[in-house]
Amino acid sequence: MKSFLLVPKESIETQARPGVRGTAQGERVLVRSTALRFGAAQKAPDALTALGLRSATLPGMKPAISGQEPRGRKRAGGRKSAGTRGAGASTVPLPGAPVTEQTGSEAGSYRYMPLIGATMAHFYSVDAENAARGELAEEFEFIPDVVPLSFPGPVSAGQTGPRNRGMSSLAQREWPDESGVPLAHAQGIRGAGVMLGILDTGVDADHPEHASKTIQFRYVSLFPNSPHNPARDVRGFDPDGHGTHVCGIAAGVHHGVAPEVDLYAASVIESETIRTSLGRVAAGMEWLLHQFSRPENASRPAVVNLSLGFPLQPPPGITEADYLLNQRALQTMLRRLLDSNILPVVAAGNSGPDTVGYPAAFPEALAVGAVDFERTVATFSASGTVGRRVVPDVMGYGVNVYSSTERRCNNQAFYERMSGTSMAAPYVAGIAALYRCRAPDLTALEVRDLILANAIKLPRSGGHRTGKGLAVFR
């Protein structure tokens, strides 16, 4: 089986454009743009259906697409009952055997993702792949889903504990006055009305830091585009704890920067391997855009936090051409966020100077490095120059940051200090949410400019770059 992300060549080569603007009652209102600007996008699912591939499109109503009439959704690939899930599959995982996708007798399967303008296809035979290329290669890039992505996991930075059992109550709040967070909260600016999307290992929705709010959650399986392994909307869980820590920094009700945001979390990173794929990230991104584009959400401000990516150079066994295609596809997804007036905040990485990867190196990203609470740059914080772009754009607190992690079987809840740009990024995402809460009519790019303009300048530390400085709310 081979998997490809099919993206219109015109789309992948076009620069991001601002989202749609409109007016209402004399105020500027930014309606989320879900327009398919490239007519070729619909050709892929139509051609794959004609070739016998099975649809695994997300269940439920699709948001309206600008310039198109609503279309009916085929039920092929819909959820099966619990008693028949995977029935007729030709590949059944056995104990001790490698995990493989269940496949049916069809030529393959696909998931059409209209809001990012792409289709993810699984071909179960070479003949099916060749037939699809014959139909679509002229207008579409066939991007092989073979490059593993990973997140910059927590690193050791001196103090790491101790873990704190039960409801946590720090003697002093984590965020210093210079961050502007205490002032914002005192003024009633706590993120209300803002949507925050997080792609990570998940979130423990029953942790005391999160249990009082409703978290929209999607688990994206190892095989997100297969009708035999559907993605699921369930109560939030997180076997790793990393995603719960990230969510707590940005949106925790006791310790979060923006505790009143509406949280949308997609589990796209496997807790055991700390790896993900282009297909899982695409499925998670599409789900976020579906949620953000619902009629009741279409004009609400939004931020997305990403702590994952590629290194600058291809991993062993991956050709440079395939690697470049994967990079361009990920960049296209970030463009779709900006097109939809959503600000993407990305961790720069934890490998130190001259080690910047993607998507932090893309100009569409607001790339975040890490400092401690004394404004000293963390030794692990990635920085560097890629072409004309200097990374990071801005810094956030990312050393020994206190947040929620996990619960034991007896329901004891844990808080823990972790370090990494994965901690700095949700701090900045929370700052962005505070700005978007105070001024919801600003565009994503205007909020980005506001964060950079108000940052506290930092001196360059050795080989580390610090961008515009420490992100704060003013």
Catalytic residues: 200, 242, 422
Cα first-last separation, the chain: 52
Cis check for the bond before 70: say yes or no (omega within 30 of 0).
no
Query: What's the helix, strand, coil split of the chain in %, to 5?
Result: 25, 25, 55
CB-count burial class (<10 Å; 0-12, 13-18, 19+) for 96: exposed
User: Distance of alpha carbon 169 from its chain centroid, rounded?
Assistant: 30
Q: Kindly state the tokens that stand for 266.
A: 């997609």
User: Distance of alpha carbon 151 from its chain centroid, rounded?
Assistant: 11
Q: Kindly state the tokens that stand for 303.
A: 């931020």
Q: Cβ of 251: how many Cβ atoms within 10 Å?
A: 32
CB-count burial class (<10 Å; 0-12, 13-18, 19+) for 408: exposed
8 A C-beta contact, residue 235 and residue 211: no
Q: Cβ of 234: how many Cβ atoms within 10 Å?
A: 12
Per DSSP (E only), the strands in 46-192 are: 53-55, 108-113, 118-123, 140-144, 149-150, 164-165
8 A C-beta contact, residue 333 and residue 176: no
Residue whose C-alpha is closest to residue 141's, from 125, 124, 121, 127: 121
SS3 of 302, please?
Answer: strand
Q: Kindly state the tokens that stand for 287.
A: 């789900």
What torsion, rounded to 10 degrees, do the Cα atoms 356, 359, 362, 363 define?
A: -110
Instruction: State the Cα–Cα distance between residues 57 and 224, nearest whole angstrom.
Output: 10
Taking each helix axis as running N to C, give the angle between helix 320-339 and helix 444-454, from 0 to 180 degrees, rounded to the nearest 10.
Answer: 100
Give exposure, 290-323, as e/b (b: 16+ Cβ within 10 Å): bbbbeeebbebbbbbbbbbbbbbebeeebeeebb
Taking each helix axis as running N to C, give the angle between helix 126-136 and helix 43-50, from 0 to 180 degrees, rounded to the nearest 10.
Answer: 140
8 A C-beta contact, residue 204 and residue 217: no
Q: Cβ of 39: how many Cβ atoms within 10 Å?
A: 12
